[in-house]
């Protein structure tokens, strides 16, 4: 069966929903998502959304903090769009019913690492992402031109004469594959944390969209820059649960197994240093002391405040036998966010006509080598809307020819469990927090072999993406932001201050940084 629409949005997180709402004014929109509609990285975002809205803040300060965190690789023009347009989109979201926490009737702002001001809005304490998704889903559901299709796994981006013309996807409930033609396709598939064995990301974060775009011929960039969150709960047998950056922003401290505060030995900003520095400092301290964890200590903070400010974290810890008001919490770093992705301009356009990308799947140049905490939800709103607006201007196309409906088995859309575990272990050991040329070269070859031997397309995509990350990391012979090479420890602006880029031909080239206007 052939189905038609005007626009396809792949993904139902903040970027996908905001893009769909924008597109709904121009035609029929179909949202495809491979799990439930509300299952995305957005829903797991605890800390909040950064926006220069408070009286004590300034647009230029937020821009400067973002540029500093990005370690010389941010495209300033994209950063300016993010920060200058951000307040308007947050205000719009509030008008649509999003409820952020307030104090005495005014929006309550908190501070996180590497921010010079208290500019982080939060909802229900530590459930910001889920509140944003709730508001956007309600707004999108009110648009009659938006159709939701859950449990739909996209298997291919369709192209014709160098243009993206639609998608193929499998309905995993019906076990059937369909083609869907469209004027434009917007990738909003989120991140790729599941590439690593230890990650804060949900099961759906397998990086599908990046490989789909790469296979279709689009340019991808900066995949070597992977952000590891410093503080994920590390209890044997327990889930890898994120302990928000805001815990340190509110005064949480990191201690080694002897109870010593150690962060000031590694950076003058101590617990409020950028995430890459905190994560590597924790790793160094664990190596130094021979321990598998360190502790996040909140016990000096007022118990009632902690329970009210972080209700979800408090409840999760209690369920696992820990009281964060009395017990130091065992933590260690975990893969959290991918700064690279499908290369886009400030309107979400990729290098493949008809294909757009927004959110974590995209590399807009906003994050550079290291994302500033809580900028990602704002990026999804701002660039989701911009991608939707730009895509809405695409001309109509000739409908796809009728294609037969194909029956598909479960094995064709599930990543092989053994291959997944092998890739995750390999990435954690050789393409993780600390890398070196020998390990990266070995990983590249092993991942190439795994991709060749993969039994179905999704397994091949999973191994291929891991290989693309490893190849970019091997190519960049310096340390910068989320990429650290033990054999090239210094940042080298003279030789490496540009973006990496990869296309299906396999060549890695440098792209210049785009300055501000």
Instruction: Report the pLDDT value the prediction gives residue 86, as an integer from 0 to 100.
Output: 97
The domain that holds 461 is classified in CATH as 1.20.58.100
| Residues 37-53, mean pLDDT to the nearest whole number | 70
Catalytic one of 275, 280, 435, 458: 275
Percent of the chain with pLDDT over 90: 84
Domain annotation covers residue 272: yes
Instruction: Report the pLDDT value the prediction gives residue 39, as an integer from 0 to 100.
Output: 61
Verify that 253 and 375 share a domain, yes or no: no
The alpha carbons of the chain give a radius of gyration, in whole angstroms, of 22
Identify the residue with better confidence: 324 or 516.
324
Q: Are 317 and 328 in contact (CB under 8 A)?
A: no
Query: What is d(CA 178, CA 158) in angstroms, rounded to the nearest whole number?
Result: 12
| Residues 26-47, mean pLDDT to the nearest whole number | 75
| Residues 257-263, mean pLDDT to the nearest whole number | 95
Verify that 241 and 369 share a domain, yes or no: no
Tens of pLDDT, residue by residue over 146-167, are 999 999 999 999 999 999 999 9
Q: SS3 for 16-33, per residue?
A: HHHHHHHHCCCCCEEEEC
Verify that 173 and 123 share a domain, yes or no: yes
Verify that 171 and 82 share a domain, yes or no: yes
Q: Please calculate the CA angle 431-352-510 and round it to the nearest 5 degrees.
A: 45
pLDDT of 516 strictly over 80: no
Q: SS3 for 355-414, per residue?
A: EEECHHHEECCCCCCCCCCCHHHHHHHHHHHHHHHHHCCCCCCCCCCCCCCEECCHHHCC
pLDDT of 196 strictly over 70: yes
Instruction: Report the pLDDT value the prediction gives residue 1, as an integer from 0 to 100.
Output: 40
Percent of the chain with pLDDT over 70: 97
Domain annotation covers residue 501: no
Verify that 117 and 134 share a domain, yes or no: yes
Exposed/middle/buried for residue 450 (C-beta within 10 Å: 0-12, 13-18, 19+): buried
Q: Average pLDDT, whole number, for the chain? A: 93
Q: Smallest Cα–Cα separation from 469: which of 430, 498, 420, 505?
A: 430
Which DSSP string corresponds to 352-363?
STTEEE-GGGEE
Which DSSP string corresponds to 470-516?
HHHHHH--S-BTTB-BTTB-S--HHHH-SEEEE-TT--EEEEPPPPP
Domain annotation covers residue 200: no
The domain that holds 155 is classified in CATH as 3.50.50.60
| Residues 188-212, mean pLDDT to the nearest whole number | 95
Instruction: Report the pLDDT value the prediction gives residue 40, as an integer from 0 to 100.
Output: 53
Per the listing, tokens 């962060």 go with: 263
Identify the residue with better confidence: 4 or 269.
269
Domain annotation covers residue 380: yes
Tens of pLDDT, residue by residue over 403-417, are 778 888 877 889 999
Domains held by the chain: number: 3
Assigned token pair, 505: 């031909």
Verify that 36 and 127 share a domain, yes or no: yes
Tens of pLDDT, residue by residue over 98-150, are 999 999 999 999 888 789 999 999 998 778 888 999 999 999 999 999 999 99
Domain annotation covers residue 399: no
Alpha helices in 265-355 (DSSP H): 275-289, 303-309, 311-319
Instruction: Report the pLDDT value the prediction gives residue 2, as an integer from 0 to 100.
Output: 45
Verify that 380 and 478 share a domain, yes or no: no
Verify that 251 and 289 share a domain, yes or no: yes
Verify that 238 and 128 share a domain, yes or no: no
Domain hosting 441: range is: 414-489
Tens of pLDDT, residue by residue over 134-144, are 999 999 999 99
- Domain final residue pick, 333, 355, 381: 333
The domain that holds 272 is classified in CATH as 3.90.700.10
Report yes or no on whether pTM surpasses 0.85. Answer: yes
Tens of pLDDT, residue by residue over 362-375, are 999 999 999 998 99
Taking each helix axis from N to C end, the angle separating 128-141 and 14-23, rounded to the nearest 10 degrees, works out to 20
Tens of pLDDT, residue by residue over 59-71, are 999 999 999 999 9
Verify that 55 and 189 share a domain, yes or no: yes
Tens of pLDDT, residue by residue over 80-92, are 999 999 999 999 9
Instruction: Report the pLDDT value the prediction gives residue 4, as an integer from 0 to 100.
Output: 79
Verify that 284 and 359 share a domain, yes or no: no
Verify that 317 and 349 share a domain, yes or no: no
Active site residue 269: no
| Residues 328-351, mean pLDDT to the nearest whole number | 97
């Amino acid at each position: 069966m052939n189905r038609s629409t005007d626009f396809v949005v792949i993904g139902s997180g903040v970027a996908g929903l905001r893009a769909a709402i924008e597109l709904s004014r121009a035609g029929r929109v179909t949202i495809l998502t491979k799990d439930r509609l509300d299952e995305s990285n957005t829903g797991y975002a605890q800390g909040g959304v950064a926006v220069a809205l408070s009286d004590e803040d300034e647009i230029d300060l937020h821009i400067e903090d973002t540029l500093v965190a990005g370690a010389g690789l941010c495209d300033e023009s994209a950063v300016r769009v993010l920060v200058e347009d951000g307040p308007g989109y947050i205000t719009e979201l509030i008008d649509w019913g999003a409820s952020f926490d307030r104090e005495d009737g005014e929006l309550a702002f908190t501070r996180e690492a590497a921010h010079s001001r208290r500019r982080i809005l939060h909802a229900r304490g530590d459930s910001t992402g889920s509140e944003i998704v709730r508001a956007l889903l309600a707004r999108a559901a009110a648009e009659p031109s938006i159709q939701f299709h859950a449990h739909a796994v996209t298997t291919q981006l369709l192209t014709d004469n160098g243009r993206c013309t639609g998608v193929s996807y499998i309905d995993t409930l019906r076990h059937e594959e369909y083609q869907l033609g469209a004027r434009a396709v917007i990738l909003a598939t989120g991140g790729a944390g599941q590439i690593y064995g230890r990650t804060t990301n949900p099961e759906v974060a397998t990086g599908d969209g990046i490989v789909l775009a790469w296979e279709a011929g689009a340019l991808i960039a900066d995949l070597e820059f992977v952000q590891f969150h410093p503080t994920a709960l590390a209890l044997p047998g327990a889930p890898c649960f994120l302990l928000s950056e805001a815990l340190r922003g509110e005064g949480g401290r990191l201690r080694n197994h002897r109870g010593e505060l150690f962060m000031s030995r590694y950076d003058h900003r101590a617990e409020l240093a950028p995430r890459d520095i905190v994560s590597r400092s924790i790793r160094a301290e664990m190596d130094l002391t021979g321990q598998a964890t360190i502790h996040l200590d909140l016990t000096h903070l007022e118990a009632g405040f902690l329970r009210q400010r972080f209700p979800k974290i408090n409840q999760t810890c209690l369920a696992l036998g820990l009281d964060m008001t009395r017990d130091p919490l065992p933590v260690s770093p975990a893969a959290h966010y991918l700064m690279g992705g499908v290369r886009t301009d400030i309107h979400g356009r990729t290098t493949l006509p008809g294909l757009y990308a927004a959110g974590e799947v995209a590399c807009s140049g906003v994050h550079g080598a290291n994302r500033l905490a809580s900028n990602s939800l704002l990026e999804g709103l701002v660039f989701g809307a911009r991608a939707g607006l730009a895509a809405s201007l695409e001309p109509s196309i000739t409908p796809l020819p009728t294609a037969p409906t194909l029956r598909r088995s479960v094995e064709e859309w599930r990543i092989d469990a053994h291959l997944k575990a092998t890739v995750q272990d390999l990435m954690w050991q050789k393409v993780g927090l600390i890398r070196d040329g020998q390990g990266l070269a070995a990983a590249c070859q092993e991942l190439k072999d795994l991709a060749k031997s993969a039994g179905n397309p999704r397994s091949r995509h999973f191994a291929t993406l891991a290989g693309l990350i490893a190849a970019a990391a091997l190519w960049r012979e310096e340390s910068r932001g989320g990429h650290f090479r033990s054999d090239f420890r210094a940042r080298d602006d003279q030789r490496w201050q540009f973006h990496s880029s990869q296309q299906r031909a396999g060549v890695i080239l440098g792209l210049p940084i785009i300055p501000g206007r």
